[in-house]
Structure 1
Amino acid sequence: MWFKPFTRQHALLADILHELDEAGLSLHALHPNDPPVGPGLVFVDPLTPLAEVEETLQLGATYAETRVIAVSVGLLPSASTWALLRAGVAEVFAWFEVEKPVQIVAARLHYWQVVEQHVADLQQRLVGKSQRWLDTLRQLVDMALSSCQVLIMGESGTGKELVAQEIHRLDPRPDKRDCVVVDCTNLIPGLSGSELFGHEKGAFTNAISTRDGALALAHEGTLFLDELGELPLPLQAELLRALQEGTYKRVGSNTWRRAHFRLVSATNRDLAQEVSRGTFRQDLFYRVSGWTCQLPPLRERKEDIVPLAEHFFRHQHGIRQPVDRQVYDFLLLRDYPGNVRELQQLVNRIASKHQGEGPITLGDIPRSDWPATLGLVPAALGGELEAGVTHLLYQGLGLKEIKDQVTEIAKKVAIHHENGNLKLAAHRLGCSERILQMHRREVVNE
């Protein structure tokens, strides 16, 4: 692993490096022009200018595999510790204030290796290489390897059920049983208690036999409650009791039964807001959100659109032919309010229309998915754009100055729309990425 010192306590630093070397940890100093790739150590003390450390961490943030431990030579104030954590370090500790500091570093490295192995496996099914998605996958592994309840939050189509299934698959319980899925949007009023808790024969009309509910089926396994925010309030109280006590009653029964399971929930609602509105119990919210994971929408991980499309073409449709670059440009410039599910459905339509052994081209895109023709027609010029140009004219600006201002605004808007991704913004503007790099550099230097 690499290391970079930000402390002048050279004698103490030499002692620390010697201990790490004696433990068999291979270290190399990070030179000024070297990118901080992979696991690393930064050495700080209470007098270290944190801005210098943050600059190194920002460089490392561009590399998905960079993970950093901050080792303090002396006690840091809490404000500095929080600043380092917010800047991106994974761990902060004072070397001479803890027992077995070498083991702390070694254990963290070993755990990171385990996590990265799981992440590499997850990428076969939860496809994506963007920094945002890799951070999400690492969090998923952390959650799965723990024993806590998990609440998965995210917009429709972001893959919440797939993530829940992977959490169950990675769950280290040696004898875990099945993952039982309950879609809370499909619970029928009056019978929903039966879906969760089961019922006795004759408990209600058409209850012709005794039936186990989801809690019984999930015993010693995982219960996944999809769209938990749709759960009716009366059932929320019963579910809370079952989670707290580990017991429940079938509908129509007076016998308490035990069920031990791991609960994973998902919702596209903001449950904190639902609590404030009185539509979701606060005590249940705290119970189910032992660990919360927010899945990013596709617009925040647009770098993953091409890998996802390739995955759908190859693994779901068996299409091995090349895909024309213009098709990927088309996919990249679309908006996806339905997120990954919408992209998948679009790829399905393209794959269904594609015939023969040739490449996939723009001609394979169904007409209903064609982008609208956008042109500056006279009606459009009579609106906000014309008003803006008129204002600039009244300020005394000439044609070149007006053109320059509109161009700069277009660059700014495109970069903002693509969440800072210059490659995608350049695609949208039809210009080179270098032009936007120069624009960003000019903005920073202003």
Structure 2
Amino acid sequence: MLAVQVEICVADQDEDVPGCLAALHRVGLRLQPATAGDAGEATGVDDYGLLLFDAVDAVLLTRLRRYSRGGQRQVLAVALADAPRPREVWSLLAAGAADVLDWNADPDCAMLIRARVERWFEVEALRRSDWVHAHLVGDSQVWQDTLRALIESAQFTQAPVLLLGESGTGKEQAARLIHHLDPRPNKPELQVLDCTSIVPELSGSELFGHERGAFTGAVAQRQGAFALANGGTLLLDEVGELPLPLQAQLLRVIQEGSYKRVGGNTWQQTRFRLISATNRDLEALVRAGGFRADLYHRIASQVHRLPPLRERSEDILALVRHFLDVLRPQDPPPEPDVATREWLLRHDYPGNVRELRQRVARLLLHHVGGHLLTVGSIPAPERPAPGSANSDWPDPDFAPLVRRALDSGIGLEALGRGVKDLAVQVAVADAGGNLQRAAQVLGVTDRALQMRRASQRRAGSA
């Protein structure tokens, strides 16, 4: 049995701890004690960890928040004494635990923990892969959680997937991720069919294909999406627009794997993974009679919601740099100056990532060269009115985050300290580690920023 390394944090020195650690060693887990990682610093095994605890209280929940870095690290919380009550389980999840296990409820709990860690290891390896970094950009927690869920669905099941999200949130890119991770050999290219383009009068020829002479203009036999996707993946984009008569026929294909071409009498066989995407509320459509309930439950085996850009605004600058690379691949990408960054960050983006890409493209149209992308590249109609730059701070999206922190028991002093620490982390990361540039963005001196970071490191190692 291959050894698997995992970091472990022992919150309570319960009498069962030695036996638990010995059992975990026997199933091949190499346990690395949490030290600085307990305060949120990287320790090597940085994506996941174990937390052994006895009782759930405010001290444990605070420690879990720090250890999980607010949910960024996958933490498996293991109860060694009495099983936590349901409300305590929910509190543990809210504090950052990815799952909660009762050590005494299952004699094979050690093997279950190993299996969970191995699954996390596989998912994290794929999440960090070059393909994912190149096509699904963003480091925000909500986006990384979305990627983990998509990767798990892609890698460990062939069940149909339903992608929900506003227009421009990246549903087709998510579908391409699922198809890319499909292990089937010799799979064809991802087949994408926009359901808004289906003509009901042609009986769904786009889906089923047609025989020569099936209708006026059918001068030759044509393969439909079901045939082209055989052995691979079919994405039905805007599936909520599929006409009701075709919904019944689609359901039959999903259930039986067979269909007839329009104008044909021979049953054709097909096997494909189905991904459906929509920006509509399908459950509301079902209640209104606009979408079949039986089809909905067939296509919604795995449901993933793609977050709008306003819920992952910390990814905007990373996406901007990505689009600068993509749109000007032959040139070194320019860096937006401070005012241009602020202009990019303060927009609402109702069109989400697609709108952000268009905004970057308009900037590049006016950029004549150099390493800085300056405010002169901003089209005049899109420039903010004088004096309006900071008029709407705090941002309306800030209030729900503060409320969530208060609901989790975080007081005003800890909340303020956390916001300041996070602002420093974000500024330094966005500046690529350049403290002088980060200090400029934060409005502090280089010396003040250096002293604050040193104080954070001392607190983390305490």
Tell me the TM-score normalized by structure 2: 0.78
Q: What letter is aligned with 1:246?
A: G
1:144 aligns with 2:151: no
Answer whether contact 1:70 1:89 (CA < 8 A) is retained.
yes
Match of 1:59 in 2: 66
Measured after TM superposition, the shift of residue 259 of structure 1 is: 1.0
1:331 aligns with 2:344: yes
Match of 2:365 in 1: 352
Match of 1:128 in 2: 138
Answer whether contact 1:199 1:251 (CA < 8 A) is retained.
yes
Classify 1:62/1:411 alpha carbon distance in 2 versus 1 (closer, same or farther; 3 Å): farther
> What is the rounded CA distance, in whole Å, between the counterparts of 2:97 and 2:71 in structure 1?
13
Identity of aligned residues (%): 42
Match of 2:97 in 1: 89
Q: What letter is aligned with 2:171?
A: K
Match 2:310 to one of 299, 313, 318: 299
Answer whether contact 1:64 1:134 (CA < 8 A) is retained.
no
Match 2:14 to one of 2, 9, 23: 9
- Provide structure 2 residue ranges, at least 5 long, that are not aligned to the other structure: 1-5, 403-418, 428-440, 445-462
Match of 1:322 in 2: 335
Q: Secondary structure at the match of 2:30?
A: coil
Q: Deviations over 1:46-88 (max 9, x none)?
A: xx12443332332245466511112222562561445434543
Q: Secondary structure at the match of 1:9?
A: coil
- Deviates most, 82-91 or 293-302: 82-91
> What is the rounded CA distance, in whole Å, between the counterparts of 2:93 and 2:401 in structure 1?
23
Answer whether contact 1:199 1:212 (CA < 8 A) is retained.
yes
Match of 1:162 in 2: 173
Q: What letter is aligned with 2:228?
A: L
Classify 1:135/1:358 alpha carbon distance in 2 versus 1 (closer, same or farther; 3 Å): closer
Q: Deviations over 1:186-242 (max 9, x none)?
A: 112312511101111111111111111100111111010001011011111110111
1:202 aligns with 2:233: no
Q: Deviations over 1:122-154 (max 9, x none)?
A: 122111111111111111101111211100010
Q: What letter is aligned with 1:35?
A: G
Measured after TM superposition, the shift of residue 265 of structure 1 is: 0.7
Measured after TM superposition, the shift of residue 30 of structure 1 is: 4.8
Classify 1:419/1:273 alpha carbon distance in 2 versus 1 (closer, same or farther; 3 Å): same
Q: Deviations over 1:268-308 (max 9, x none)?
A: 00111111111111111110011111001001111111011
> What is the rounded CA distance, in whole Å, between the counterparts of 1:131 and 1:190 in structure 2?
46
Match 1:367 to one of 380, 396, 409: 380
> What is the rounded CA distance, in whole Å, between the counterparts of 2:399 and 2:310 in structure 1?
9
Classify 1:250/1:75 alpha carbon distance in 2 versus 1 (closer, same or farther; 3 Å): farther
> What is the rounded CA distance, in whole Å, between the counterparts of 1:66 and 1:56 in structure 2?
13
- Provide structure 1 residue ranges, at least 5 long, that are not aligned to the other structure: 376-406, 435-446
Tell me the TM-score normalized by structure 1: 0.81
Answer whether contact 1:21 1:27 (CA < 8 A) is retained.
no
Match 2:353 to one of 334, 340, 362: 340
> What is the rounded CA distance, in whole Å, between the counterparts of 1:201 and 1:165 in structure 2?
32
Answer whether contact 1:128 1:134 (CA < 8 A) is retained.
yes
Answer whether contact 1:2 1:30 (CA < 8 A) is retained.
no
Answer whether contact 2:206 2:225 (CA < 8 A) is retained.
yes
Q: Secondary structure at the match of 1:103?
A: helix
Answer whether contact 1:36 1:59 (CA < 8 A) is retained.
no
> What is the rounded CA distance, in whole Å, between the counterparts of 2:83 and 2:104 in structure 1?
12
Match of 1:72 in 2: 79
> What is the rounded CA distance, in whole Å, between the counterparts of 1:104 and 1:36 in structure 2?
27
Match of 1:189 in 2: 200
> What is the rounded CA distance, in whole Å, between the counterparts of 1:20 and 1:259 in structure 2?
45
- Deviates most, 33-42 or 195-204: 33-42
> What is the rounded CA distance, in whole Å, between the counterparts of 2:393 and 2:383 in structure 1?
25
Classify 1:257/1:370 alpha carbon distance in 2 versus 1 (closer, same or farther; 3 Å): same
Classify 1:410/1:218 alpha carbon distance in 2 versus 1 (closer, same or farther; 3 Å): closer
Q: Deviations over 1:243-276 (max 9, x none)?
A: 1111111111222221111000100001111111
Classify 1:118/1:32 alpha carbon distance in 2 versus 1 (closer, same or farther; 3 Å): closer
Measured after TM superposition, the shift of residue 34 of structure 1 is: 2.6
Match of 1:416 in 2: 398
Q: What letter is aligned with 2:239?
A: L
Match of 2:447 in 1: none
Match of 2:125 in 1: 117
Answer whether contact 2:70 2:96 (CA < 8 A) is retained.
no
Match 1:105 to one of 88, 106, 113: 113
Q: What letter is aligned with 1:203?
A: A
Answer whether contact 2:62 2:95 (CA < 8 A) is retained.
no
Measured after TM superposition, the shift of residue 174 of structure 1 is: 3.4
Q: What letter is aligned with 1:72?
A: A
> What is the rounded CA distance, in whole Å, between the counterparts of 1:184 and 1:328 in structure 2?
37
Aligned residue pairs, count: 397
> What is the rounded CA distance, in whole Å, between the counterparts of 1:317 and 1:106 in structure 2?
45
Classify 1:77/1:16 alpha carbon distance in 2 versus 1 (closer, same or farther; 3 Å): closer
Q: Deviations over 1:140-187 (max 9, x none)?
A: 101111211100010001111111011100112234333111001111
> What is the rounded CA distance, in whole Å, between the counterparts of 1:363 and 1:194 in structure 2?
50
Match 1:231 to one of 242, 248, 254: 242
Classify 1:32/1:85 alpha carbon distance in 2 versus 1 (closer, same or farther; 3 Å): closer
Answer whether contact 1:152 1:292 (CA < 8 A) is retained.
yes
Measured after TM superposition, the shift of residue 360 of structure 1 is: 1.2
Q: Secondary structure at the match of 1:123?
A: helix
Answer whether contact 1:36 1:66 (CA < 8 A) is retained.
no
> What is the rounded CA distance, in whole Å, between the counterparts of 1:418 and 1:374 in structure 2?
26
> What is the rounded CA distance, in whole Å, between the counterparts of 1:33 and 1:166 in structure 2?
33
> What is the rounded CA distance, in whole Å, between the counterparts of 1:433 and 1:18 in structure 2?
51
Cα root mean square deviation, aligned = 3.0
